[in-house]
Amino acid sequence: MTGLLQEPKTEPMRAPVPAAPPSRTRRTLPEDGVPALLVEHVTKQFLVGRKRKPVTAVKDISLRIRRGEIYGVLGANGSGKSTFIRLVSTLLTLDTGKVEVFGHDIERDEMAVKRLINRVSVDAAFFKKLSPFENLAYAARLYGMDPKSARQQAIAILARLGISEKRLGRPLEQMSRGMQQKVAIARALLTSPTLLLLDEPTTGLDPRSKLDVQSFIEDLRDGHDATIVLTTHDLAEADRLCDRIAIINDGRIVVEETPEALKVLVAERHGQEPTMESVFMTFTGRSLDDDLDNENDENDEG
Amino acid sequence: MTLMTRELKASFAFVERNFNLTKRYWGWEVAFLVYAVAGALAVSLIGAGQNDTRLLLTLVIGAVFWNYLSVVFSFIAETVSWERWEGTLEYTFMAPVRRYAQMLGSTLYAVIFGFVHTVVVLVVLALFFELDLSQANFGTAAVFMVLGSVSFIGIGIMTAILPLMYVERGAQMTFVLQSVLLLISGVYYSIDVLPGWMQVASNFSPATYVLDGVRAGLIDGVGTADLLRDVWPLALMGIVFIPLGLWAFGRAERYAKRTGKLKRVG
Ligand SMILES: Nc1ncnc2c1ncn2[C@@H]1O[C@H](COP(=O)(O)OP(=O)(O)O)[C@@H](O)[C@H]1O
Ligand SMILES: [Mg+2]
């Protein structure tokens, strides 16, 4: 398999990440050098609905993600996770602040950044009538890859995710959500991104597919030099997969720590149970099931 | 140079993708083709019914060339709305591809598709009617076909901006624009019969010049050199609209990314 599993495309001057030990908690990541993702004071506001009510989706976010890290962004619906991912994906412009991907400024060096990143969104956005192969060939060509070798890679990645080659020639709309999401992951990995943005990749999947996707991400984490930003509103998933977690509430990062440190923090300082649930409650004042999005959900036709 | 080759290769992504879409949606393509053929026949039969060979030829040319131009136009103008509908817009815009390469690929496919589509319509019409092409100057028709393509590509790109800026209304606006072009360009009648203000508007439609030129060439055998009145507006529109369209598309993309119009949910 290739993609993320290949050698990195940039920053050759730094020492390679040491082979990761099996447990996340004892992973050592180099602190020095160019961060995989650097975000400084980024804000994004939308004007929503007929009355053009301003909604600040992302408020003054700053963070620094090291190469090889899996960084979780945990937040309720409408807390600004997707907006953050889109800002880094060049799909939204920044109102303020700056973003750098492996030292490339996202605005001045947009094309270079685009080559380094890829993204998986909640909805597996494909041409529904085209087959997985046809969709992946399109993606491969867009990224300047040879479609034939892309095909071989796609077969390998999808085999690992439990989808056989036989399924890849028929229209994608005939696949289940879980399968479509796996094809979306293959599409993202195909282009060998050095920074992979996963925006709720497991939301709405059946339990089986969810596990498949999670253990695949674990594989990427344990065996390879992958830098991943993972948004989720699944506490267990964040706990299981992420080296560090940022909890985002109303567009703001309220806390950022390793999962262990977060749990210790709520236990020691707030006298709570050392669980992710109490971590989330403590820092956001709400349960994860609250939906923040409804009051802004007017049609945005303009 | 390597940049150019890279972008040219990337533009093939759009050709191949659109070809695959045509293949997968073949049922609809056939349905639309039947509709186009029936429409062209229905209109041309008016000329046959009048036993007027000149009128027949005028209508056939109108039907055939409008078919070509409108297919090219809608394919280009709908690149954004199509992807919006499929949900792939963000993935295409995220890819390291320049917009001109994207437009080049979409345009190339539109021209090929429009050409094949139109040949089918033409063959059916030729089988149906005895067309008097004894005077015809095919060179003129070919020149206007090329000029017409260029200018329609230009307004197609300009129009493709609308669905980028207006999430839902944009696609509706392109459709209305296409209808207006049909009305004012003298596709089936001389523009002299239009009210004065519509005649003024017809000056701004490239189709007006294409149809005038092609008719002069195919019915009366006029050469391109004697049709400069039609050539220069078309050339001008192509030269102005294509770069202007690409520039404006870039601005519209920026606007869409600033205001969150590419996609909101998910
Ligand atoms: N393109 C957009 N246009 C207008 N408002 C938006 C847009 N994208 C997000 N929002 C608003 O910004 C807030 C954060 O949304 P989002 O980033 O999608 O949250 P999450 O992904 O955490 O559910 C919500 O109030 C949402 O309605
Ligand atoms: Mg989201």
Give me the CATH number covering residue A220: 3.40.50.300
Sort out which chain A residues have CB atoms less than 8 A from B93's CB and list them.
90-91
Instruction: Say if A122 is an interface residue toward chain B (CB within 8 Å).
Output: yes
Residue whose CA lies nearest to ligand 1 atom number 18: A82
Backbone φ and ψ of A294, nearest 5°: -65, -40
> CA angle, corner B250, sides to B248 and B256, nearest 5?
100
In a domain, A290, yes or no: no
Helices B138-165 and B79-86 pack at an angle, to 10 degrees, of 50
Nearest-by-Cβ selection for A127 from B13, B86, B261: B86
In a domain, A88, yes or no: yes
Q: Is B53 helix (H, G, I), strand (E, B) or coil?
A: helix
In a domain, A2, yes or no: no
What is the band of A156 on the pLDDT scale with cuts at 50, 70, 90? very high
For residue B98, give how far its alpha carbon lies from the nearest alpha carbon of chain A (Å).
Answer: 9
B166·A141 Cβ contact <8 A: no
State the residue for tokens 């030829």: B57
Beta-carbon pairs below 8 A across chains A and B: 103
Task: Tell me the pLDDT of chain A averaged across its residues.
Answer: 86
pLDDT at A137 over 70: yes
CB A117 within 8 A of CB A195: yes
Q: Which whole number is the average pLDDT over A222-245?
A: 91
A294 against B121, higher pLDDT: B121
Nearest-by-Cβ selection for B16 from A83, A123, A137: A137
pLDDT at B105 over 80: yes
Q: Shortest CA distance to B263 belongs to which of B159, B163, B180, B189?
A: B163
State the residue for tokens 């992807």: B83
A144·B9 Cβ contact <8 A: yes
Neighbours of ion ligand 2 (CB under 5 A): A 81-82
CB A87 within 8 A of CB A246: no
Bridge partners, residue A248, by sequence: A253
In a domain, A229, yes or no: yes
B20·A130 Cβ contact <8 A: yes
Nearest-by-Cβ selection for B10 from A82, A128, A142: A142
Bridge partners, residue A58, by sequence: A44
Task: Tell me the pLDDT of chain B averaged across its residues.
Answer: 95
Going from the Cα of A297 to the center of ligand 1, the distance in angstroms, rounded, reads: 9
Sort out which chain B residues have CB atoms less than 8 A from A232's CB and list them.
none
B94·A111 Cβ contact <8 A: no
* pLDDT above 70 as % of chain A: 84
- Report residue A31 CA to chain centroid gap: 21
In a domain, A153, yes or no: yes
Number of domains in chain A: 1
Kindly list the protein residues whose Cβ atom lies closer than 6 A to any atom of ligand 1: A 46, 48, 55, 57, 75, 77-83, 293, 296, 300; B 260, 264
Cα dihedral across residues A81, A87, A88, A89: positive or negative: positive
- Integer CA distances (angstroms), B188 to A102, A222, B45, B47, B146, in order: 60, 69, 12, 10, 21
Going from the Cα of A164 to the center of ligand 1, the distance in angstroms, rounded, reads: 36
Instruction: Say if A71 is an interface residue toward chain B (CB within 8 Å).
Output: no
Nearest-by-Cβ selection for B94 from A119, A128, A199: A119
A142·B96 Cβ contact <8 A: yes
In a domain, A117, yes or no: yes
Which tokens belong to B161?
Answer: 């901006």
Query: What's the pTM?
Result: 0.90
pLDDT at A131 over 60: yes
What is the band of B38 on the pLDDT scale with cuts at 50, 70, 90? very high
What is the band of A18 on the pLDDT scale with cuts at 50, 70, 90? very low
**Range list of H helices, chain B:** 2-24, 26-49, 53-77, 79-86, 89-94, 99-128, 138-165, 169-184, 196-202, 206-220, 228-259
Q: Which residues form the domain of A42?
A: 33-284
pLDDT at A5 over 80: no
pLDDT at A7 over 60: no
Q: Which atom of ligand 1 is nearest to the CA of A48?
A: 4
In a domain, A276, yes or no: yes
Q: Is B200 helix (H, G, I), strand (E, B) or coil?
A: helix
